């Protein structure tokens, strides 16, 4: 299971609900997968390593990508 190394975000589970005539008739299990990428990250000491980071942390500039 992929998990973000910055914010520890992973797969969330819940129910897919089908509604018939204003009543909940069935529930089926489903998963919401977070958008996790393998990127090269520059650490504070200047070293470059690979990390699994979600796109929300990438956009928020919580990590610095190596070019």
pLDDT digits over 22-64, tens only? 777 788 999 999 999 999 999 999 999 999 999 999 999 999 9
Residue 18 — very low, low, confident or very high, per pLDDT cuts 50/70/90?
Answer: confident
The predicted structure's pLDDT at residue 26? 83
Q: Could you tell me the pTM of the whole model? A: 0.76
What is the spatial distance between Cα 1 and Cα 21, in angstroms, rounded to a whole number? 37
Rg (CA), the chain: 18
The predicted structure's pLDDT at residue 25? 77
What is the spatial distance between Cα 12 and Cα 14, in angstroms, rounded to a whole number? 7
What is the spatial distance between Cα 1 and Cα 31, in angstroms, rounded to a whole number? 12
Q: Which two tokens stand for residue 7?
A: 């914010």
Would the pLDDT of 11 be above 90?
A: yes
The predicted structure's pLDDT at residue 14? 95
CB atoms under 10 Å from CB of 41, counted, come to 19
């Amino acid at each position: 299971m992929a998990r973000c190394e910055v914010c520890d975000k992973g797969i969330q589970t819940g129910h897919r609900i089908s509604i018939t005539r204003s009543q909940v008739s069935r529930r089926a299990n489903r998963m919401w997968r977070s958008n996790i990428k393998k990127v090269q990250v520059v650490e504070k000491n200047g070293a470059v390593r690979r990390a699994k980071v979600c796109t929300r942390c990438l956009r928020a500039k919580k990590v610095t990508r190596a070019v």
